[in-house]
Structure 1
Amino acid sequence: MSYRFRVLRRMRPRLWVPQHADQEPAFLLECDSSVLDALQKHLVLHKIRRKVTVEPCPELHVWAVLSCDPEGASGATLLQEHKSTAILTRDPRTARMGWRLLAQDKGSTLVPGGQLGDLQDYHRHRYLQGVPEGVHDLPPGVALPLESNLAFMNGVSFTKGCYIGQELTARTHHMGVIRKRLFPVQLSGPLPANGIAPGTTVLTESGQAAGKYRAGQGDVGLALLHSEKIKGPLHIRTAESGRVALTASVPDWWPTTTK
C-alpha cells in the first residue's frame, strides 16, 4: 500500500497529545491560518479565570495522508523511529479523508511508501467528497453548523454543556428539519476566467432560486442548496459565460437517513 501526501494548514480536528507524567495535559487545535490571531483572542476571552495557556505552534507542520487506493482499508503507519515525535491519526471528519499527520519534519519521509502530492489535488478531493474547510467554505457568521453538515463530521456535540449557539443548534437537530445543506457540486460548461464568485445564486430550470454557490476549485465545489431542489436541473448565470450547468450529489459517507 502506498500513500500520497497533501500539505494542509486549514483543518479543525482536535488531537490529544500524550504527555510525560510531569507535564500538563495539552491539546492541539488546527485552524485556518488566516484567522489564527482572531481564534487566539477568542479562546483567551472565553477561558475566563481557568489556568489555560493559549499559544501558537509554528514549528508543527500539518499533512493530509490519502491512500492511492480509494478502497484501501488498511491504515497508514509511521516509521518506528518517528513515533515519539509525530502524530498520525484518522481524519475525524470521514474515512474518505484518510489520515492526519502532525510533525516538525518533512511528512513524506515519515510514512512508508509516502509520496509528496499536490495541494490542489487535495482540495479537489475534499470538494468531491463534500468536505468543507476554512473560512472560504465556512465563512464566520454565515455558515450554520447543521447546514454545513458538521454533525456528520464529529464537529457538533449534542451532549456537551453550554457553548455559543448550542441552544439553536440542539433545537434544530431535535426537530429534524434542516431544509438547506452544503452539497458537493460539479460544474459543466464554459467557466468564467476567475471561477464562480462565492454567493452566486443557483437557479432551477424555471429560474427559481435553489441556493447559493459557496466555494470551489475549477469545475468542483460546494453550494448551499435547498434539499428538495437538488434533483432537478440546476444552473448558474454569469456575466462572462452566460449559463453554467450545476449538478449536486449526496456523498456516500453521509448517514442514510439524510439521503
Structure 2
Amino acid sequence: MGWRLIAKKGANVSEIIPGSQVGDIQDYRRHRYKQGIPEGVEDLPPGVALPLESNLAFMNGISFTKGCYIGQELTARTHHMGVIRKRLLPVSFPEPLPGSSIPAGTEILTESGKRAGKFRAGQGELGIALLRLAHTKEPLCMHLAGDTVRLRASTPQWWPKAAAK
C-alpha cells in the first residue's frame, strides 16, 4: 500500500522520502482499488463479507494460531481445506464510471450470462468486486439501466503465487 508519513505541518515530503508524492483521499481510494484492498463497510459489508474471501489472510488480518473469535472454526476449516471459490478482486472498466452510478451489490455476469459475482465499490475506471475465481479470466459485464457495462478482473501482484492460480 505504499508509505504513510506523519510529519510536522509544512514539511517537504520529497526531502524526507525522495521520489514520493502527496495524494488526497481520491488517490488513496484509486490505489486501494487497483491493489484490491478492501476497507470499511462498503467493501466489507457486515454479516456478508467472509475474511478469507476478502483476502484478509493475505494481509495477516487473520490468526490461525489463536482462537476465540466469531467465525474462527469456519475460517480455520476453510483455510486448511484450501477451497475458496470467491475473492475480492480489482476490476477495471474501459472508461471512467459516471459518478457513483453502480450500486454496491450489482450482479456481475459472464458474457454467456452466468453469475460471476457482485460489485462492491468503484471510482473512475477502477473498482473492487467479489468474484468467483472460476470466471475471473472471462469477459465480464453488468447490466445498468438498459446499458451493458463491461469490466475486467485482475489478480493483484502482491498475492501469494499459489492463490493467483
TM over 0.5, shorter chain = yes
Q: Which runs of 5+ in 1 are unaligned?
A: 1-96
Q: Which amino acid aligns with 2:148?
A: R
Of the candidates 250, 254, 257, which is equivalent to residue 155 of structure 2? 250
Asked if 1 retains the 8 angstrom alpha-carbon contact of 2:97 and 2:123, the reply is no
Partner of 1:83: none
Give me the whole-angstrom Cα distance separating, in 2, the residues matched to 1:190 and 1:155. 31
**Alignment RMSD, CA only?**
2.0
Q: Which amino acid aligns with 2:33?
A: Y
Asked if 1 retains the 8 angstrom alpha-carbon contact of 2:110 and 2:140, the reply is yes
Residues matched between the structures, number: 160
Structure-1-length-normalised TM-score: 0.57
Tell me how far 1:101 sits from its aligned partner.
3.8
Give me the whole-angstrom Cα distance separating, in 1, the residues matched to 2:101 and 2:131. 19
Partner of 1:146: 52
Equivalent runs, 1:91-240 vs 2, <5 Å: 97-101=1-5, 106=9, 109=11, 111=13, 112=16, 116-188=22-94, 191-239=97-145
- Richer in strand (by share): 1
Q: 1:194 to 1:123 in 2, by over 3 A?
A: closer
Q: 1:235 to 1:166 in 2, by over 3 A?
A: same
Give SS of 1:174's match.
helix
Give me the whole-angstrom Cα distance separating, in 2, the residues matched to 1:125 and 1:205. 28
Structure-2-length-normalised TM-score: 0.88
Q: Which runs of 5+ in 2 are unaligned?
A: none
Q: 1:246 to 1:175 in 2, by over 3 A?
A: same
Asked if 2 retains the 8 angstrom alpha-carbon contact of 1:186 and 1:246, the reply is yes
Identity %, equivalent residues:
66
Give me the whole-angstrom Cα distance separating, in 1, the residues matched to 2:156 and 2:50. 19
Give me the whole-angstrom Cα distance separating, in 2, the residues matched to 1:102 and 1:164. 34
Tell me how far 1:193 sits from its aligned partner.
4.5
